[in-house]
Structure 1
Amino acid sequence: MAEQIPQELIDRINQLSHKKKTVGLTEDEQVEQKSLRETYLALFRQNFRNNLEMVRVFNKAGKEVTPAKVRKIQKEKGLRND
């Protein structure tokens, strides 16, 4: 299961971004900002991947056309039984 992106992480990234635009950041704050952004991106990518793996695609006629790769992942995770 994907990990929720903590609001505190987003708030701190935004604080540092605002400070960078107004008065600038210290070296420690620059390192912190980079680390926070990397953490955010890792969590975002994992959440996005998990969401895509849950998708089932149907054509206009109602026939499922989910790609085989996605169906395989869904079966491995126990999300499908066909």
Structure 2
Amino acid sequence: MLSKEKINRINELSKRAKSTGLTKQEEKEQQTLRKEYLDTFRNSFKNQLHNVTVVDENGNDVTPDALKESKKNKNKHMH
């Protein structure tokens, strides 16, 4: 999870970019913070998906093969 301070800074830079513009240094900071935010979001989303099992109305596991494979690969890296 990204800290509240970093999220506030992202929002502050975004507002300033729309109103007065950013310096080169602030633009670089904004890009770095956005990348960190997206990386954190993607990792969190992947972790959520790895805890999902899809079951049809008959109780059969119909989890997509790509997700099953991703779960296997994750477990290999953890050991």
- Give the TM interval when normalised to the shorter protein: 0.7 to 0.9
Note the residue ranges of structure 2 that are not aligned, 5 or more in a row: none
Could you tell me which residue of structure 2 aligns to residue 33 of structure 1? 30
Aligned partners of 2:27, 2:33: CA distance in 1, in Å? Answer: 10
Higher helix share: 2
Name whichever of 56-65 and 67-76 sits farther off. 67-76
Larger relative contact order (C-alpha < 8 A, sep ≥ 6)?
A: 1
Note the residue ranges of structure 1 that are not aligned, 5 or more in a row: 78-82
Structure 1 pair 67/31, CA: closer, same or farther in 2 (3 Å)?
same
When the two structures are superposed, what TM-score results if normalisation uses the length of structure 1? 0.76
Between the two proteins, what is the percent identity of the paired residues?
41
| Superposition CA RMSD, Å | 1.9
When the two structures are superposed, what TM-score results if normalisation uses the length of structure 2? 0.78
Q: SS at 2:58's partner residue?
A: coil
